DNA sequence: TATGAAAGTTTTAAATA
DNA sequence: TATTTAAAACTTTCATA
């Protein structure tokens, strides 16, 4: 499950994060190596799960997703059964792009991407009807200043 | 700048989000079309900016990024100059994966990915020394329940 | 939209340091 | 053990029907 990542691996990952569409030849040139070693390392890191999905990032606004909310959730329920049902609800809703369980006073944070405020309300009503939640605060994004999935390697 | 996206375009985008590594032939088969129209539509959507970066998603933990914080920021400064400097600070720091300007009581939210709590503190000290910030609350993620970049097409 | 051919890329295997 | 070379299989790209 675990792999040791050396300097060359790291350089390859930087390239793949930046542009997964470039050819092996280009990657090899950019990292100062050649095709086969780069290919073998990529395969190994894929198998080890270091490299997960290869994807295209899309423009949310161009596709009609004009609202993004961060949702802070406090709950009074902390038993295993409640938690399992809550997590299931989140996982099955595609508008929930991120969900984290937190340390401290606020229990969960969600990032929710929807068409507009009305669509958020539909999501919110559905969520609270499914599981009991003590307190919810929704923070509406006015402007996406920065958004990247790149890890700072 | 704007494009009309039809049903076939949408299906192609779903495929590209799920797996940008598959061949044109596979995409064409999966969406019930053939190579040439699929290829032309992808090219158009790339040119229009609907399809942005092609990237590989990496496993943060495997690469030593063990801490993720959501940072809620309140400021007392609202003039253009302060804001410009603040945005620059955020954009140039690679550990800031997301930054949004919010409506309401909290002014900004950040998602910050670092090796550990100590690395977060280094980031935090650097940030507050660069720009004046009224109030900061850091929420530490204990568990990433869900994390996707896919839009719910 | 379909076909097909040229150019380019990935993948495997064998040979080499 | 990792890298280079080389060649087969596959993919993309684009002109033409």
Q: For strand D, give the nucleotides within 7 A of a protein CB.
A: 2-6, 10-15
Average pLDDT taken over every residue of chain B:
95
Distance (Å) from CA B44 to C1' D16? 21
SS3 of residue B10 by DSSP: helix
Over chain A (153 residues), the average pLDDT of each successive run of 10 is: 84 96 94 94 94 96 97 90 94 98 96 98 95 95 97 95
Residue B2 pLDDT grade (very low, low, confident, very high; cuts 50, 70, 90): low
Say how many C-beta atoms besides its own lie within 10 A of residue B40's C-beta.
10
Average pLDDT of span B18-37: 94
- What is the rounded distance in angstroms from the CA atom of residue B85 to the CA atom of residue B81? 6
How many angstroms is C1' of C16 away from CA of A15?
29
Instruction: Give the residue from A43, A26, A22, A48 showing the smallest Cα distance to A35.
Output: A26
Query: Where do the structural domains in chain B lie, given as residue ranges?
Result: 7-47, 61-140
Q: Check whether B1 has a pLDDT greater than 60.
A: no
Cross-chain residue pair A139–B19, CB shorter than 8 Å: no
pTM for this one? Answer: 0.94
Q: How far is CA B66 from CA B12, B16, B61, B119, in A?
A: 34, 29, 5, 10
The arrangement of secondary structure in B7-47, i.e. its CATH architecture, is: Orthogonal Bundle (1.10)
**What pLDDT sits at residue A77?**
78
Q: Which pLDDT value is given to residue B4?
A: 87
| Interchain proximity A57–B55, CB inside 8 Å | yes
Residue B77 pLDDT grade (very low, low, confident, very high; cuts 50, 70, 90): confident
| Residue in B54, B94, B101 nearest the CB of A142 | B101
CATH of span A61-140: 3.30.70.920
Residues of chain A found within 8 Å of residue B102, distances taken between Cβ atoms: 70, 139-142
DSSP classification of residue B24: H
Closest nucleotide C1' to the C-alpha of B35: C2
Distance from C-alpha of A76 to C-alpha of A134, rounded to nearest angstrom: 6
Cross-chain residue pair A140–B53, CB shorter than 8 Å: no
* Residues facing B69 on adjacent strands: B112, B140
pLDDT at residue number A78: 78
Chain B residues 13-32 with Cβ under 7 Å of strand D are 23-26
Q: Does pLDDT of B11 surpass 90?
A: yes
Calculate the angstrom distance between C1' of D5 and CA of A138: 59
Fold match flag (B7-47 vs B61-140)? no
Model pLDDT for residues B113-127, shown as the tens digit of each residue:
999 999 999 999 999
pLDDT tens figures, B86-141: 999 999 999 999 999 999 999 999 999 999 999 999 999 999 999 999 999 999 99
Question: What pLDDT score was predicted for residue A4?
Answer: 85
Q: For residue B23, give Cα distances in angstroms to A45, B7, B121.
A: 21, 20, 44
Task: Look at residue A2 in the predicted model and tell me its pLDDT.
Answer: 67
């Amino acid at each position: 499950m675990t792999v040791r990542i050396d300097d060359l691996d790291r350089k390859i990952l930087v390239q793949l994060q930046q542009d997964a569409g470039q050819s092996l030849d280009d990657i090899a040139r950019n990292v100062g190596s050649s095709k086969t070693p780069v290919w073998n390392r990529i395969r190994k890191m894929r198998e080890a799960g270091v490299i997960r999905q290869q994807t295209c990032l899309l423009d949310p606004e161009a596709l009609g997703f004009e609202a993004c909310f961060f949702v802070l959730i406090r709950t009074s329920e902390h038993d295993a059964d409640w938690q399992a049902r809550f997590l299931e609800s989140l996982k099955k809703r595609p508008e929930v792009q991120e969900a984290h369980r937190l340390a401290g006073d606020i229990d969960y944070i969600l990032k929710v991407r929807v068409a507009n405020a009305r669509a958020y309300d539909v999501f919110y009503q559905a969520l609270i009807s499914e599981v009991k939640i003590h307190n919810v605060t929704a923070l509406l994004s006015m402007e996406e200043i920065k958004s990247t999935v790149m890890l700072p390697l």
